[in-house]
Amino acid sequence: MQSFEKITQPKSGDQENDSLPTDYPSWKADEKQSFLWHQRILLSQYERFPALKKIDVIGLFLTVLNKKMDCLADEAPRHWKKAIHAHASVAEIRFVPAAETPFTGLFRGADYGLLRLSLTGNPADRGFAPGLAVKFFLDGQPSANFSALVSLDGQGKNYNFFANEFSNIVPVVNRLGPKLINLIFRRASHFPTKLDLQNLGVVRQDGQVETTPHYPLRLFLVPNDNVQFAETPPHDFRTDLATIAPGTSLFSVYGVDPANVSDDRVDQLEDRQNAQLMGSIETTSAFVASDYGDRRLFFRHQRFRNQ
């Protein structure tokens, strides 16, 4: 297990009792990112990684999942517990748009964001199942967020976090475990395997609202071929992520224009063929595993098609 130099380890419960400054929502995008990174994430960086947890199915069932859809804050509600994707590493990022992108809002550029890379649960329990969450900060406005998975099944015994593409829409899996979790999430969304991207397309980084917003129906995040890790033997993904240098292009981002989709079906192959390059996600810091990143950093899930 890799160790990290201690920066400042908060006393037990310190961050649980702290909350964001009262004027935090009015701050500029760069100020929000800097505060969360330097005053929360770095100050709670682990000396040693905590053990990865199994999916807490009972805890997930008891979670008020509507909060995941309705809370606009960057910090989790009081007493929020992650029953799934409990442990992660986080890095500062930016989105660099492709030239002449048709999409609006943050898809035309976002300089200040956080990327959280995690596993659904302990890979020794149900296989290696990567997931990610992205948060882009806005001036004086709530952040824009989205999450993506490889699939509900994961990728078995392949421990390379970047072995497959990620998407905000994944097909339904006809197996007991994924079906059960699907049913739990259905309490909060009619489309639990789909997340909407509207919040990223309607507002620019400076907080100005787009008069004619246009955003993709679906994203594909394609890992950089130069950022790959060993598939075997079993090892901790957080150790791999800690080796990624700031300034690394992690993903090429492809989007499916709603104008090119005739109905609401999910066709993985057809959508991927219709997807156009939108830009790339680049790191602007190293990856850090921290108590705050595991317990308090919050990413909203937007219900598909504004249910």
Considering the entire predicted model, what is its pTM?
A: 0.87
| Element housing 269 (H / E) | helix 268-274
- Cα separation, 206 vs 28, whole angstroms: 8
> Helix or strand or coil: residue 278?
strand
**H-type alpha helices, 136-192:** 176-185
List per-block mean pLDDT (blocks of 10 residues) for the chain, which spans 307 residues. Answer: 34 54 97 98 97 74 57 83 87 96 96 97 92 97 94 92 93 58 52 78 96 94 97 97 98 91 65 92 98 94 57
pLDDT (0 to 100) of residue 9: 37
Which pLDDT score is estimated for 260? 76
pLDDT of residue 166: 96
Which pLDDT value is given to residue 144? 95
Give the torsion through C-alpha atoms of 183, 184, 188, 194, to 10 deg: -60
Residue 307 pLDDT = 36
- Looking at residue 190, its pLDDT comes to 56
For residues 135 and 92, give the distance between their C-alpha atoms in angstroms, rounded to a whole number.
10
- Closest by CA position to 128, among listed 153, 100, 103: 153
Q: What is the pLDDT of residue 178?
A: 56
Could you identify the residue written with the tokens 């005053």? Answer: 39
pLDDT for residue 19: 86
The per-residue DSSP string of 181-195 comes to HHHHHTTT-S-TTB-
Backbone phi, psi, residue 287, to 5°: -85, 140
261-298 CB burial, b ≥16 within 10 A, e <16: beeeebeeeebeebbeebbbbbbbbbbbbbbbbbbbbb
Give the closest residue to 225 by CA, choosing from 130, 160, 278. Answer: 160
Alpha carbon distance 244, 228 (integer Å): 10
Element (H, E) at 270: helix 268-274
pLDDT value of residue 295 = 93
CATH 3.40.1350 fits 25-295, yes or no: no
